[in-house]
């Protein structure tokens, strides 16, 4: 039995996308111990993943923090990993490779860099969809990919029956109107207008709810929807996954919760501006679709409601 390492630091949407690749790696290493290196926000979440034996925390302190770097590398080396699957494919993980396996080929260290198709630049390769890139990387590393193109995030929800009972949630629609402060181009401005249409057309059939993150709770007062918290605190990722799983529909900006919805198999729509495309981020699924507009400010609430009405029934 060997030790196998998967690296996946984040972000939330990327975590949901990588579930299929992680499952395929695990199923191709049934006689091995599969470990995963991740960051603090996803450490407890990955402990629930049935395809992982052990989770290792990377605090991602600055590289010039030599004491931390030495400690992390020492911790990784003690497992004597026979193979590493780098699903993060970042400059940081490339740096780790130079320390741990400086001359490794794809037989030891699987990454975009070590499995890049011949005659293709990384810049051109990165134009392909996220899941297609994972699929190529793993196939080039000898992995049979049965799940990579169809990630399953259904292992992530926790029990939120108390929260649902407290808010009397039966049929409900979840909106995710927020985004990171530095990614305002992803923010659709007409959520309150959409809420008015939902309430007008569906009367009392659905409650409209939001589940703000820790830094979004103050802004939540500007959205005319029921704010779902856990004793005044933002839901954790597993609670959020459950809220999405049991919802009737989700409308979201191109953020982590949108990708969670897609790979939980729930119904919903993601709203895209020109920052990227639904194809590139591999978000569309059987129940989850996307609307793209050159400018999100020109995508009307009526258009979104019309698309939602087609899917929700």
Query: pLDDT tens, 203-236?
Result: 889 999 999 999 999 999 999 999 999 999 999 9
**270 band by pLDDT with thresholds 50, 70 and 90:** very high
Question: pTM value?
Answer: 0.94
**Domain at 3-140, CATH from 3.90.1200.10, 3.40.50.2000, 3.40.50.720, 2.60.40.3500:** 3.40.50.2000
Task: Measure the CA–CA gap between 38 and 17, rounded to whole angstroms.
Answer: 15
End-to-end CA distance of the chain: 49
Evaluate if residue 126 carries a pLDDT over 90: no
Q: What radius of gyration do the chain's Cα atoms show? A: 21
Fold of the CATH domain 162-312: Rossmann fold (3.40.50)
Query: What are the pLDDT digits (tens) for 159-171?
Result: 999 999 999 999 9
The predicted pLDDT at position 148 comes to 98
Q: Is 196 left (phi over 0), alpha (psi -120 to 50) or beta?
A: alpha
Is 167 in contact with 226 (CB distance < 8 Å)? Answer: yes
Strand-pair partners of 288: 268
Sign of CA dihedral 142, 39, 180, 92: negative
Evaluate if residue 183 carries a pLDDT over 90: no
Average pLDDT, the chain: 95
Task: List the structure tokens of 166.
Answer: 């407290």
φ/ψ of residue 108, rounded to 5: -115, -40
Evaluate if residue 144 carries a pLDDT over 90: yes
Residue indicated by tokens 């770097």: 69
Where are the domain boundaries for CATH 3.40.50.2000 in the chain?
A: 3-140, 162-312
Average pLDDT over residues 48-52: 98
Task: List the structure tokens of 133.
Answer: 């890139």
Evaluate if residue 184 carries a pLDDT over 80: no
Task: Measure the CA–CA gap between 26 and 290, rounded to whole angstroms.
Answer: 31
């Amino acid at each position: 039995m060997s030790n196998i390492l998967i690296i996946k630091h984040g972000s939330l949407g990327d975590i949901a996308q990588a579930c299929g690749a992680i499952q395929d790696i695990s199923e191709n290493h049934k006689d091995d111990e599969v470990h995963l290196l991740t960051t603090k926000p996803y450490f407890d979440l990955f402990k629930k993943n049935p395809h992982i034996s052990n989770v290792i925390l990377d605090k991602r302190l600055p590289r010039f923090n030599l004491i931390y770097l030495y400690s992390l590398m020492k911790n990784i080396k003690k497992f004597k990993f026979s193979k590493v699957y780098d699903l993060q494919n970042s400059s940081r993980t490339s740096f780790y490779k130079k320390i741990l396996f400086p001359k490794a080929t794809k037989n030891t260290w699987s990454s975009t860099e070590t499995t890049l198709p011949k005659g293709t630049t990384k810049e051109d390769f990165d134009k392909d969809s996220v899941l297609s890139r994972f699929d190529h990387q793993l196939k080039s590393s000898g992995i049979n990919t049965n799940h990579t193109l169809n990630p399953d995030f259904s292992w992530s929800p926790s029990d939120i029956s108390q929260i649902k009972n407290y808010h009397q949630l039966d049929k409900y629609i979840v909106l995710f109107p927020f985004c990171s402060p530095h990614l305002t181009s992803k923010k659709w401005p007409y959520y309150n207008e959409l809420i008015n249409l939902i309430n007008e057309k569906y009367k009392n059939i659905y409650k409209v709810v939001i589940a703000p993150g820790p830094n979004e709770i103050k802004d939540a007062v500007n959205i005319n929807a029921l704010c779902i918290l856990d004793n005044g605190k933002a839901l954790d990722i597993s609670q959020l996954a459950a809220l999405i799983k049991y919802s009737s529909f989700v409308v979201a900006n191109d953020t982590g919760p949108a990708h969670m919805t897609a790979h939980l198999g729930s119904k919903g729509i993601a709203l895209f501006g020109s920052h990227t495309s639904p194809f590139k981020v591999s978000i569309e699924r059987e129940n989850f679709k996307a609307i793209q507009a050159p400018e999100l400010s020109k995508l009307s609430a009526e258009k979104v409601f019309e698309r939602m009405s087609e899917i929700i029934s």
